[in-house]
Amino acid sequence: MMLYTMIDSPIGELLLLGDEQTLHGLYMQGGRKPMRVAPDWQRSATPFALATAQLHEYFDGQRVAFDLPLQMRGTPFERRVWSALQDIPYGETESYGELAQRIGQPSAPRAVGLANGRNPISVIVPCHRVIGADGSLTGYGGGVERKRALLELEQGQLAISGLHP
């Protein structure tokens, strides 16, 4: 059975999706791709207590890495990209081309970008740390303003608590 909860955050409402053991999704409900709650999902905050606590610590600037059991469904290529996202250090960025190079697919920055856009666990799997080759903040499912806010939080340029775009 799929479980979910909604939590408030400084970047808007977040939907957490999973089961009793693992987090399957984290979706920004105010972004371009809000996730609809399916009729057969059951609302329960209890399985998400650790994720919620770690997210609050992150937004308060007190957590730089997450330690949560994740289950991400996707193609082998997508899972490789998502795994590589987790290796981008807190407060740093990497271009789509650099990420493609790092996973051994130097001619696939666009495919990396598509996989990045399909990341089902935003914030925790830091797709916001991937930028354009020229340093620009390119597309982000939660909106470029949220991407900027997350990067500024991580670079110590913004106290994000209380920010609601």
Marked catalytic residue, from 127, 130, 149, 151:
127
| Residues 146 and 28 sit within 8 Å (Cβ to Cβ) | yes
Q: What is the DSSP letter of 36?
A: P
CA-CA distance, 47 to 159, in Å (whole number)?
A: 28
Tokens at residue 62, please?
């007190």
Three-state DSSP state, 145: helix
CA-CA distance, 15 to 28, in Å (whole number)?
A: 7
127: annotated active-site residue: yes
Catalytic residues: 127
